[in-house]
Amino acid sequence: IVLTQSPGTLSLSPGDRATLSCRASQSVSSYYLAWYQQKPGQAPRLLIYGASTRATGIPDRFSGSGSGTDFTLTISRLDPEDFAVYYCQQYGSSPPTYTFGQGTKLEIK
């Protein structure tokens, strides 16, 4: 399964709403779709699992949705600390595979 994220780069201002897309080449269980945030020089941080459940400590301005082949990460009102690269990842079983999308860079406009 290939995960394609769009856009490659998203230029927005603090306070804007951000919508990031993750499209799978074939249907993916929403139970097995996660999103991560990575800031420069830092390790990735888990944001969302099960396509829509926020990980511990993640602000409620982050939300995930989707099913089948189309998944979305939405940031309702951008905070300056939200400008980073975002990755989706899917887990597939039999045999286990853990594919990442290529990432979306969210930059300050």
Could you list the residues that contact other proteins (CB under 8 A)? 31-32, 34, 36, 38, 43-46, 48-50, 53, 55, 85, 87, 89, 91, 95-103
CA distance 39 to 8: 16
In angstroms, what is the minimal distance from the CB of 95 to other proteins?
6
In the bound complex, what is the minimum distance in angstroms from residue 15's beta carbon to other proteins? 28
Q: Do 23 and 101 touch, CB atoms closer than 8 A?
A: no
Nearer of residues 16 and 46 to other proteins, judged by Cβ = 46
Which residue lies nearer to other proteins by CB, 53 or 74? 53
Cβ neighbourhood burial of 13 (10 Å; 0-12, 13-18, 19+): exposed
Token reading at 24 = 């799978």
Nearer to other proteins, 15 or 53 (CB): 53
CA–CA dist 106, 19 (Å, integer): 10
